[in-house]
């Protein structure tokens, strides 16, 4: 299957947004341009972009088989590829979190590490308050991903027969899940459960319908005019995304602001991602090269391990006073905040690169990914 460099570029952007968010969360250092303060503060939306890309990439070979000339992967191949891509690096990160003493410090489960580990190994840790956020807080997204993989054969069975109806049903199900939780459980489990798979089905759905539209229609479009229109659409999509992020940021003083703002609006992120991705895929060569540049492709390559380890590295740096600071509260030290940002980006990138090139890629090569 031909790789789509634009999607790699978007994956690089997604992981950099998430990394920037957690660096900002630790340092409180916003960009020097005040109008861009919303970017790091809402960088967690990079996770939404990951889910969108997963929906696109997972369904893409099946769509190409159904409406193109490719051969459909077997379900055994699908399961094996997902397993070797996800599980070895995931398991290693859990071992590392315990080996350095990080996991016990962030667990809400006390010393019951067996329950934490088992819940995470079976990817059900987001459904219990005791295990949600344990070991390594960012691992909640892996539960969402793997649960989507588990239901994907059924989703594909429906999508192959009725793409638009399945898309609509997934969008509606996600909205009903978030709305229902807000009405029944706002003061209880809303903040936790709206972050589970049902609350993100619309984002996955936009990725799936994007792969369908690209394969059936947009990949066939040719000519300078169509490429120019697509490029303008992609740029407008980025503008639309920035507008959504700004609206989310402006709501930040409200109770449970992120989840509440997204009850009716999370699907709009999926729409913005679809406009950006499809416009970029069909766009002018210079635009595709810009998004698929070597730097973003590098971060796309190490994105999984960068995601797995970045919060561990950043918190360990803070706990161990790296870089050192001269005030009781490092946030009162302007120089520390700047140095922490440089050191945080550098250290997390280095750790992710080592994990990727010394463990993940050899495993994938050996096991035939």
- DSSP string covering 348-366: HHHHHHHHIIIIIHHHHHH
Residue 34 has pLDDT above 80, yes or no: no
Residue 326 has pLDDT above 90, yes or no: no
**Average pLDDT, integer, range 225-249:** 97
Both structure tokens of 55: 């929906």
Residue 81 has pLDDT above 50, yes or no: yes
Instruction: Provide the residue range defining the domain that includes 103.
Output: 5-366
The pLDDT, as a whole number, for residue 109 is 66
Contact yes or no for 229/290 (Cβ under 8 A): no
The pLDDT, as a whole number, for residue 3 is 57
The pLDDT, as a whole number, for residue 189 is 87
Q: Report the C-alpha gap between 256 and 219 in whole angstroms.
A: 41
Q: Report the C-alpha gap between 145 and 324 in whole angstroms.
A: 37
- Other beta carbons within 10 angstroms of residue 72's beta carbon come to 15
Q: Report the C-alpha gap between 367 and 365 in whole angstroms.
A: 6
The pLDDT, as a whole number, for residue 1 is 38
Q: Report the C-alpha gap between 56 and 168 in whole angstroms.
A: 16
In whole angstroms, how far apart are CA 49 and each of 122, 128, 155, 192, 290?
Answer: 24, 25, 20, 20, 18
When divided into structural domains, the chain yields a total of 1
At 2, the pLDDT band (50, 70, 90 cuts) reads very low
pLDDT tens digit sequence for 335-360: 999 999 999 999 999 999 999 999 99
At 369, the pLDDT band (50, 70, 90 cuts) reads low
């Amino acid at each position: 299957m031909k790789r789509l460099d634009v999607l790699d570029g978007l994956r690089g952007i997604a992981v950099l947004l998430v990394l920037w968010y957690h660096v900002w969360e630790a340092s409180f250092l916003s960009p020097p341009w005040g109008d861009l303060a919303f970017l790091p503060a809402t960088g967690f939306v990079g996770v939404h972009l990951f889910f969108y890309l997963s929906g696109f990439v997972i369904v893409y070979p099946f769509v190409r088989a159904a409406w193109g000339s490719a051969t459909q992967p077997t379900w055994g191949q699908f399961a094996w590829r997902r397993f070797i891509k996800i599980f070895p690096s995931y398991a290693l990160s859990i071992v590392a979190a315990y080996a350095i003493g990080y996991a016990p410090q962030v667990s809400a489960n006390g010393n019951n590490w067996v329950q934490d580990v088992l819940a995470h190994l079976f990817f059900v840790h987001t459904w219990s308050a005791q295990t949600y956020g344990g070991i390594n807080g960012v691992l909640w997204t892996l539960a969402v991903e793997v649960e989507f993989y588990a239901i994907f054969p059924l989703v594909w069975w429906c999508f192959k027969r009725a793409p638009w109806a399945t898309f609509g049903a997934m969008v509606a199900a996600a909205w009903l899940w978030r709305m229902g939780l807000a009405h029944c459980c706002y003061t209880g489990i809303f903040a936790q459960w709206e972050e589970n798979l049902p609350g993100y089905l619309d984002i996955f759905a936009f990725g799936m319908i994007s792969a369908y539209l690209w394969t059936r229609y947009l990949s066939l479009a040719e000519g300078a005019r169509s490429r120019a229109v697509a490029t303008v659409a992609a740029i407008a999509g980025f503008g639309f995304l920035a507008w959504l992020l700004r609206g989310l940021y402006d709501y930040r003083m409200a109770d449970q602001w992120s989840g509440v703002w997204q009850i009716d609006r999370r699907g709009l992120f999926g729409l913005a991602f679809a406009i950006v991705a499809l416009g970029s895929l069909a766009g002018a060569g210079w635009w595709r090269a810009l998004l698929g540049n070597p730097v973003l492709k590098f971060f796309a390559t190490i994105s999984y391990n960068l995601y797995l380890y970045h919060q561990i590295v950043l918190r360990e740096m803070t706990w161990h006073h790296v870089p050192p600071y001269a005030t009781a509260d490092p946030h009162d030290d302007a120089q520390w905040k700047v140095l922490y940002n440089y050191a945080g980006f550098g250290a997390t990138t280095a750790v992710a690169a080592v994990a990727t090139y010394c463990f993940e890629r050899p495993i994938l090569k050996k096991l035939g990914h």
